[in-house]
Amino acid sequence: MFIGLQVWMKLLVGSMNKRVAIIGAGPSGISALRAFSTARDNGIDVPEITCFERQSDWGGQWKFTWRTGLDENGEPVHSSMYRYLWSNGPKECLEFSDYSFEQHFGKSIPSFPPREILEDYILGRAKKSNFRDWIKFNHSVRMVENQENGGFLVTVEDIDSKTIIKETFDYLIVATGHFSVPNVPEFDGIETFPGRVLHAHDFRSAGEFKGKDLLVVGASYSAEDVGLQCKKYGAKSVTFSFRTAPMDFIWPQGVDERELLTSVNKKTVTFKDGTKKDFDAIILCTGYLHSFPFLPQELRLVTTNRLFSPGLFKGVVWNDNPSLFYIGMQDQWYTFTMFDAEAWYARDVILGSIQLPSKEERTSEMKEWDDRENNLEDAYGMIDFQADYIRSLMENTDYPKFNVELSQKEFKAWKKAKEKSIVSYRDQAHSSPVTNKLSPVHHTAWWEAMDDTMESYLKD
Ligand code: FAD
Ligand code: NA7
């Protein structure tokens, strides 16, 4: 339960002189920084915070780059984002409850903004929070060691000076994201394919595939969005190939879905149902791997892209060592709102205002969430699961309340709108669970909107 300021301040005495390391300054790391800076601004004594960020600036995935492979410093390129990316969920369902879109843009804006708008919004709150000097940019965490007396020894490379730094911390928050290390399966004969084969992580522009016959492997968010936008920007045809189940949307002309490919022979791809087709390019939208090469085995989250992260109490606290926290590791219906709820929870455990239950009690609660996920039947159940998860975090902290029920309703309406029309769900308007207002409809239908600049989007 949330407790009063005075009681809280008494509990905080134990958190002073402690050191917290946050790895990553993407949206999850920014949520953690915001949580601590909000406490600081409310007069609470917070521990010393250091955030290590491998890139030269904040924003994580939202920091678009033209580069693929390695960056200018020889580090793996982090962002998988591409030109013409528009939000694939209603922005109302990811709205910070302490900083509305309306507050940021000075007016109510439509529900599915392009990447640049969302980046501006995320960073807008960060810029107003006065924590940038807690972040060490161009600092890549190379290794973490558990210390015998508790705490962590963190080895970091300062990329600019090419020096290695070792520092000890009492608490560690891992916020490194999980959509950067591609899962790249092998297909029989794919090495004979004469055209371009790439993973979605390296996809940057639909323009490259204009006039081409394109095979897109995968049946989830990346496949749907990359394939559809290639069609929008002029691909001759797009064929989706699924492993488990088709996406089954009502696709525009020139788009079809087939079972999984079984082999590739030069330009010709054969599918499980025996059909064949010639292609010019193949994009593998086959998901990502959770990867924490800097963590030792005993601290490392091992999971796939799912709602309940094994080993994490409340999806945040490493059950075997509650000085370690992860933020943003779940499959994501909710995003920024969920990262905030997690960050506030992690902060309050560190500050001592949340007393964790015993390990046995934690384990038993974790099993309940795991069982619930294993018995989910459809996407609507997943939305309810993640909404309840956010509620279970928020009831313990002072993260400003938002209308979770309304956000569930909007998510379900969005899902239905997608089922009705995959090309026009972005033309719908949703209501904000923060301001309770219905957003305006965008001036141009998404399928016709080729210009994704901020200037064009914000026009009335
Ligand atoms: P990230 O954004 O991945 O940030 C992690 C940060 O950690 C990075 O800055 C990285 O450089 C840093 N880092 C990693 N390793 C180290 C290290 N060893 N040392 C130091 N720093 C390190 N979400 C939405 O809400 N709406 C969307 O429309 C949407 N579209 C998406 C489209 C794509 C193509 C992808 C890939 C994701 C999309 N997402 C979307 C989800 C997106 O992942 C989240 O919005 C958000 O970026 C996750 O934030 P994060 O901080 O957890 O991870
Ligand atoms: P997801 O949602 O994890 O989906 C991965 C997809 O890749 C899914 O359809 C998988 O099929 C498919 N997959 C994985 N391995 C294979 C193999 N070996 N063969 C064929 N198909 C395979 O990742 P996304 O990239 O779509 O989305 C991640 C985020 O990026 C998301 O938040 C977006 O907003 C952007 P399955 O259905 O499991 O059989």
Could you read off the pLDDT of 423-448 as tens digits, one per residue?
999 999 999 999 999 999 999 999 99
What is the C-alpha to C-alpha distance for residues 137 and 6, in angstroms, rounded to an integer? 36
Q: Are residues 400 and 359 in the same domain?
A: yes
Positive or negative, the Cα torsion across 368, 373, 376, 378? positive
CATH number at residue 19: 3.50.50.60
How many angstroms does the Cα of residue 59 sit away from the middle of ligand 1? 8
**Overall average pLDDT of the 23-27 stretch:** 98
The CB of 286 under 6 Å from ligand 2? The reply is yes
What's the CA gap between 22 and 59, in Å, rounded?
Answer: 14
With vertex at residue 215, the alpha carbon angle to CA 211 and CA 217, rounded to the nearest 5 degrees, is 150
Q: How many residues can be counted in the chain?
A: 460
131 and 267, same structural domain? no
Ligand 1 centroid from CA 60, angstroms: 5
Domain membership flag for residue 64: yes
Write down the residue that tokens 């205002």 correspond to: 353
Same domain, 268 and 314: no
CA–CA gap between residue 258 and residue 141 (Å, rounded): 42
Residues 76 and 224 in one domain: no
pLDDT at 10 (0 to 100) = 45
Query: Same structural domain for residues 129 and 9?
Result: yes
Secondary structure letter of residue 150 according to DSSP: S
Same structural domain, 248 and 310 = no
Using the 8-state DSSP alphabet, how is residue 207 labeled? G
Give the pLDDT mean for 240-266. Answer: 97
pLDDT at 7: 46
Give the ligand whose atoms come closest to the C-alpha of residue 61: 1
Per-residue pLDDT at 16: 59
- CB distance 88 to ligand 1 below 6 Å: yes
- Tell me the average pLDDT across 340-352: 98
Confidence of residue 15 (pLDDT cuts 50, 70, 90): low
Q: Give the pLDDT band of residue 149 (cuts 50, 70, 90).
A: confident
Nearest to 206 by CA among 268, 281, 279, 288: 281
One-letter amino acid identity for 284? L
Strands 139-146 and 152-158: antiparallel
Which atom of ligand 1 lies at the shortest distance from residue 86's CA?
28
Nearest ligand to the CA of 223 is: 2
* Domain encompassing residue 334: 5-180+288-408
Specify if 427 maps to a domain. Answer: no
For residue 46, pLDDT beyond 50:
yes
Asked whether residue 311 falls in the same domain as residue 337, the answer is yes
CA distances (Å), origin 12, targets 100, 342, 347: 30, 19, 11
Q: Higher pLDDT residue, 64 or 148?
A: 64
DSSP β-ladder status, 19-23 and 48-52: parallel
- The answer to whether 316 touches 393, Cβ cutoff 8 Å, is yes
pLDDT in tens, 386-437: 999 999 999 999 999 999 999 999 999 999 999 999 999 999 999 999 999 9
Ligand nearest to the CA of 158: 1
Ligand 2 site, residue 244, Cβ cutoff 6 A: yes
The mean pLDDT value for 371-399 works out to: 97
What pLDDT sits at residue 210? 98
pLDDT at residue 441, as a whole number:
95
Total domains present in the chain = 2
Report d(CA 154, CA 145) in Å as an integer: 7
Q: Which of 228, 259, 284 is the last residue of a domain?
A: 284
CA torsion, ordered 239, 376, 382, 293, to nearest 10 deg: -80
218 within some domain: yes
* Closest atom of ligand 1 relative to the 178 alpha carbon: 3
Do 128 and 142 lie in a common domain?
yes
The preferred substitution site among 224, 269, 286 for testing ligand 2, maximizing ligand atoms within 8 Å of CB, is 286
Task: Kindly list the distances between the CA atom of residue 355 and the CA atoms of 11, 322, 346, 455, in Å, as whole numbers in the listed order.
Answer: 10, 11, 11, 48
pLDDT in tens, 74-124: 999 999 999 999 999 999 999 999 999 999 999 999 999 999 999 999 999
Res. 460 pLDDT band, cuts 50 70 90: confident
Are both 198 and 267 inside the same structural domain? yes
Looking at residues 329-336, what average pLDDT do you find? Answer: 97
Q: Are residues 247 and 319 in the same domain?
A: no
Query: Does the CB atom of residue 218 touch ligand 2 within 6 A?
Result: yes
Residue 275 domain-assigned?
yes
Q: Where a domain ends, among 284, 304, 325?
A: 284
**pLDDT of 1-13, one tens digit each?**
444 554 454 455 4
14 class by beta-carbon count within 10 Å (0-12 exposed, 13-18 middle, 19+ buried): exposed
Give the residue whose CA is nearest to atom 14 of ligand 1.
Answer: 176
Residue indicated by tokens 């953690």: 32
- Give the pairing of strands 276-278 and 268-271: antiparallel
How close is the Cα of 16 to the center of ligand 1, in Å?
A: 30
Mean pLDDT of the chain: 95
Burial bucket for residue 77 (CB in 10 Å: 0-12, 13-18, 19+): middle
Confidence (pLDDT) at 2: 45
- pTM of the predicted model, to two decimals? 0.96
Q: Has residue 384 got a pLDDT over 60?
A: yes
332 and 320 in a single domain? The answer is yes
Average pLDDT over residues 272-296: 98
Ligand 1, from 178, 179, 201, 340: best to mutate by most atoms within 8 Å of Cβ? Answer: 179
Q: Which of 284, 306, 340 is the last residue of a domain?
A: 284
- Phi and psi torsions of 368, nearest 5°: -60, -45
Which ligand sits nearest to residue 229's alpha carbon? 1
Shared domain check, 299 and 345: yes
DSSP string, 264-322: EETTEEEETTS-EEE-SEEEE---EE---TTS-GGG-----S-SSPTTEETTTEETT-T
Instruction: Verify whether ligand 2 is closer than 6 Å to residue 138 (CB atom).
Output: no
Contact 217, 285 (CB under 8 A): yes
Cβ 301 vs Cβ 320: under 8 Å: no
Beta strands in 16-138 (DSSP E): 19-23, 48-52, 135-136
Q: Are 327 and 302 in contact (CB under 8 A)?
A: no
Alpha carbon distances (Å) from 455 to 45, 59, 116, 458, 459? 42, 20, 10, 6, 7
> Given a cut of 80, is residue 194 above it in pLDDT?
yes
